[in-house]
Amino acid sequence: MAATSMDQLVSLCKRRGFIFQNADIYGGLQGVYDYGPLGIELKNNLKAAWWRSMVYERDDVEGLDAAILTHRKVLQYSGHEATFTDPLCDCKKCKARMRADHIKDGKCPNCGSTDLTEPRPFNLMFKTTVGPIEDGTNYAYLRPETAQAIFTQFKNVVDSTSRKVPFGIAQIGKSFRNEITPRNFVFRVREFEQMELEFFVKPGTDEEWHEKWKEARVKWWEEQGLKPENIHIHKIAKEDLAHYSKATYDIEFQFPHGVEELEGIANRTDYDLGNHTRYQNELGLTAHVHENKDSEAKLAVFDDQEKKWFVPFVIEPSAGVDRGVLAVLTEAYTEETLPNGETRIVLKLKKHLAPVKVAVIPLKRNNPDIMQKAHEIKNMLLKTGIGRVMLEDSGNIGKAYRRHDEIGTPICVTVDFETIEKQPATVTIRDRDTMAQERIAVDELADYLKKQFMA
Ligand code: ATP
């Protein structure tokens, strides 16, 4: 098991304002969480790191931000209406409902009874009414994955950017699944965020790209602070593959509750683009899918060498933001025993993920000169573009250090009497991990921190 327990994380997340149960004051909406003041910063930093590596650092990926409400036909032709189900069992004794694949030795995980119903399919998609009249036909779905809009907008992106395969479309956004048994904090929830890339390739090169993306994604997670020994690759058995997949690797992580999926990397073949394309035969295409009488689209590209149209294959690295947040918190959470016997909780997050980059702490909050200097320094550091710089004047210095250790602030800057009385002005900087302190001239502070955060 991981060194960090789920209780430690849940407690830290609530105490310091990372993650709260949704509708807490009404007893909570199950499987739904809200991100607090620090959670939103951490989550944004993780998403920004993904976007940077997927879009900015590559020359073959474009971005998209599509709607959450999804046309029924999209999810009908994608296969989700028919097959996006989990088989479900009910316990006849305690009435608990559970996923069939979560049952061990034929026993109800809640009460241990073996008196269970046969598994029945349960569709995981949330439906909602569109327009003022609820007559049962005018509904849309909340998307169960961000991917489908990437497929339905494929042609618009290709036409507006002149991209040629291989190239990808990246998207980050909310997805919704009516999970039967949400559990393990934000690991399995009903409303979550995904970071998905659909990478379009020529059929025949798909397996090679699948391997490349697997390597690239493991490397990226390591750069977010996950230790290689806590990351596992699991090749999904043929009989367990999703309805659209030819092959899938799961990147699994040692979460506090066990080793489970953090990201899936699927070879979706030409399944989706093919399915959203009108009458394949009529168009002279050869996607391995059925014909679509409702679509107007030809989601294909022209092969300049072979002088014919083809439907690209797609490799999809699909990561969960919430599971990502949980993973980096699991890895970063540390409890240390100090020489005086006290326990120090410190979140050893990678600097680029830390919710607060620098805390500026005035030694005496009732001294106007120190306060003014602290404000000046905060504003000066903010201009460096390193991220959130916070004025921390909420308590004494010991408490401020403890708080910033717990929320993972890499550097604290303390403004004291020497800062305002001596020339050149200096401050104390304290390193989160080593707790080492040194004095540095205020004039050199911005450059020093830029080097620390932007290296
Ligand atoms: P699982 O088998 O755990 O239900 P999945 O294989 O259905 O997951 P995918 O459809 O591959 O998941 O979705 C891609 C990613 O989206 C997952 O790797 C995960 O990080 C995230 N994800 C999927 N379902 C949830 C959920 N209910 N809560 C949080 N994140 C999720």
CB 276 within 8 A of CB 152: yes
> Is there a single domain that holds both residue 117 and residue 196?
no
How many residues are recorded in the chain?
Answer: 455
Residue 210 Cα to ligand 1 middle (Å): 19
My answer on whether 433 and 387 are in the same domain is yes
**Do the domain assignments include residue 347?**
no
Q: What is the largest CA-CA distance in the chain?
A: 83
Q: Whose CA is nearest to atom 12 of ligand 1?
A: 264
Closest CA to 21 of 29, 190, 324, 11: 29
| CATH number of the domain enclosing 373 | 3.40.50.800
Nearest residue (by CA) to ligand 1, atom 19, is 320
317 within domain boundaries = yes
Mutational pocket test of ligand 1: of 192, 253, 314, the residue with most ligand atoms within 8 Å of the beta carbon: 192
Distance 183 CA to ligand 1 centre (A): 13
Integer Cα distance of 179 and 189 in angstroms? 7
Amino acid at 296: E
Tell whether 288 and 200 lie within a shared domain: yes
DSSP state at residue 91 = B
Are the C-beta atoms of 97 and 59 separated by less than 8 Å? Answer: no
Burial status of residue 362 (CB atoms within 10 A of its CB: 0-12, 13-18, 19 or more): buried
Q: How far is the CA of 239 from the centre of ligand 1 (A)?
A: 18
DSSP single-letter state for residue 359: E
Task: Report d(CA 79, CA 87) in Å as an integer.
Answer: 16
> Which atom of ligand 1 is nearest the CA belonging to 320?
20
Q: Which atom of ligand 1 is found nearest the CA of 248?
A: 11
**Looking at the 3D structure of the chain, how many domains does it have?**
3
What's the 251 CA to ligand 1 centre distance in angstroms?
Answer: 11
Three-state DSSP state, 80: helix
Q: How many CA atoms lie within 13 A of 39 on its CB side?
A: 23
CB atoms closer than 10 angstroms to residue 442: 17
Question: Which two tokens mark 62?
Answer: 């474009």
In a domain, 334, yes or no: no
In a domain, residue 341? The reply is no
- Identify whether the C-beta of residue 192 lies closer than 8 Å to the C-beta of residue 33: no
Full domain range(s) for residue 382: 356-454
Pocket test for ligand 1, best of 190, 193, 194, 196 (most atoms within 8 A of CB): 194
Query: Residue 166, preceding bond cis, omega within 30 degrees?
Result: yes
Q: Quick one: 180 and 94 in the same domain?
A: no
pLDDT of 134:
78
So what's the pLDDT on residue 278? 87
Per-residue pLDDT of the chain (455 residues; tens, 9 = 90+): 447 899 999 999 999 999 999 999 999 999 999 999 999 999 999 999 999 999 999 999 999 999 999 999 999 999 999 888 888 888 999 988 888 888 888 999 889 999 999 888 888 999 999 988 877 778 999 999 999 999 999 999 999 998 999 999 999 999 999 998 899 999 999 999 999 999 999 999 999 999 999 999 999 999 999 999 999 999 999 999 988 899 999 999 999 999 999 999 999 999 999 999 988 777 888 887 777 889 888 999 999 999 999 999 999 999 999 999 999 999 999 999 999 999 999 999 999 999 999 999 999 988 999 999 999 999 999 999 999 999 998 868 999 999 999 999 999 999 999 999 999 999 999 999 999 999 999 999 999 999 999 86
- If asked whether residues 149 and 70 sit together in one domain, one would say yes
Q: Are residues 102 and 186 in the same domain?
A: no
Please give the distance, rounded to the nearest whole angstrom, from the Cα atom of residue 282 to the centre of ligand 1: 37
Shortest-distance atom of ligand 1 to CA 324: 20
Q: Are residues 292 and 234 part of one domain?
A: yes
Assigned domain for 155 exists: yes
The pocket around ligand 1, CB under 6 angstroms, is made up of 145, 177, 179, 188-189, 192, 194, 261-264, 318-320, 322-323
Q: How far apart are CA 142 and CA 130, in angstroms?
A: 11
CATH of the domain at 46: 3.30.930.10
Residue 132's pLDDT is what? 84
246/209 Cα distance (integer angstroms): 13
Confidence at residue 3, expressed as pLDDT on a 0 to 100 scale? 73
Distance 114 CA to ligand 1 centre (A): 28
Residue 185 domain flag: yes
What residues does 19 pair with on adjacent strands? 35
In order, the DSSP letters of 145-177 are SSHHHHHHTHHHHHHHH---SSEEEEEEEEEE-
Residues 420, 296 within the same domain: no
Contacts of 232 (CB under 8 A, 6+ apart): 251, 252, 253, 254, 259
- Locate 225 and state its tokens: 């602070």
Alpha helices in 204-246 (DSSP H): 206-223
Count of beta carbons in the 10 Å neighbourhood of residue 246: 17
Q: How far is the CA of 177 from the centre of ligand 1 (A)?
A: 9
Asked if residue 277 and residue 324 are part of one domain, the reply reads: yes
Identify which of 142, 196, 231, 323 to mutate to test ligand 1's pocket (most ligand atoms within 8 A of the CB).
323
pTM assigned to the model = 0.94
- Rounded Cα–Cα distance for residues 13 and 42 (Å): 11
Residues 267, 186 share a domain: yes
Residue 1 belongs to some domain of the structure:
no
In a shared domain, residues 60 and 200 = yes
HEC string of 392-436? CCCCCHHHHHHHHHHHCCCEEEEECHHHHHCCCCEEEEEECCCCC
Helix, strand and coil in the chain, % to nearest 5: 35, 30, 35
Which of 309, 328, 347 is at the close of a domain?
Answer: 328
Are both 29 and 55 inside the same structural domain? yes
Whether 225 is covered by a domain: the verdict is yes
Q: Which atom of ligand 1 is nearest to the CA of 251?
A: 18
